[in-house]
A = this chain, B = another copy of it.
Amino acid sequence: MRELHMTERSPAPADRPEAAALERSGGIALWRQIARSIEGGIGAGTLTGGARLPTEAQLSASFGVNRHTVRRALEELSRAGLIHVEQGRGSFIAEDVLDYAVSARTRFSEVIRAHNKEPGGRVLGLRELPADAAIAAGLGVPPGTLMVLLERLGLADERPVSLGSHHFSAARFPGLLAALRECPTVTAALARVGVADYRRQQTRVTARMPQGEEAKWLHMPRNRPLLVTESVNVDAAGAVVEFGITRYPTPRVQIVFES
């Protein structure tokens, strides 16, 4: 439906070299270029959460376009959840853009607290099922092995920021299903079945378009990609504890690795 709006071609007036270089005949709609430019500023950290954008008048002047064109770009960003617009006040960078810092000792709640937000979670599914080929390969068990699968929506200040599928070996951790049902966090449930500590061994990152209800759960448009991580967590002895697939909405969430 967003595509319906984009059938607009500008008649290319006098050139305006000092503005943030828009291509007036590059085949890309001006409002898309503007949206991308602002989005880039948010991604690069130049514009941080809660910061106020220049007024529409200022933006239209600096880009050398009509205010309507800027408004269309802002509408797109607003729909994507990157900014919110308040009549009579201005436009503001959304607060829920967050850098998800990944390290060996990453815990969801700690990452969220590091951003001064309140971590939360919502269990979408908890059941036992046999491992398919991909999961079996990730965990290093034979295909068909009975697994415990926890599907969980990660929240920061009540806003969805991640959608994780956590796979554990049912045989290796008897009682885990019950523990997960009662404990608020994965870390707590694992502690109940004897895993005092674990660490992230490897993280694989890829991206794909959302499928099924992923976009709905993550409160994002279907035309933006998900960041997908596959991670292997091991205990102190190096034995595999969990294989997790987590999906993050872009560009609201970015993943940051320190080396």
Contact = CB atoms under 8 A, between A and B. Distances in A.
Interface of A: 20, 26, 28, 36, 40-41, 43-46, 79-81, 99, 102-104, 132-135, 137-138, 199-209, 211-212, 223-227, 230, 250-251, 254-259
Nearest to A79: B211
Interface centre among A134, A199, A212 (most CB of B within 10 A): A134
B251 A206 contact: yes
A88 to B, nearest CB: 16
A interface: dominant SS:
mixed
A55 to B, nearest CB: 18
Contact of A255 (B206, B208, B256): B206
A147 B84 CA distance: 28
Contacts of A225: 207-209, 225
A97 to B, nearest CB: 8
B259 A206 contact: no
A202 B46 contact: no
A226 B199 CA distance: 28
A133 B223 CA distance: 27
A202 B44 contact: no
B257 A137 contact: no
A133 B251 contact: no
Nearest to A21: B132
Interface centre among A201, A204, A205, A209 (most CB of B within 10 A): A205
A218 to B, nearest CB: 13
Contacts of A254: 204-206
Contacts of A137: 44-46
Contact of A80 (B80, B134, B255): B134
A211 B44 contact: no
A205 to B, nearest CB: 4
Contacts of A133: 41, 44, 46, 80
B206 A28 contact: no
Contacts of A200: 259
B206 A258 contact: no
27 contacts: A41-B134, A43-B230, A44-B133, A44-B134, A44-B135, A44-B137, A44-B230, A46-B134, A80-B134, A103-B259, A104-B259, A199-B259, A201-B258, A202-B259, A203-B256, A204-B255, A204-B256, A204-B257, A205-B205, A205-B256, A206-B250, A206-B251, A207-B207, A207-B225, A208-B225, A209-B223, A257-B257
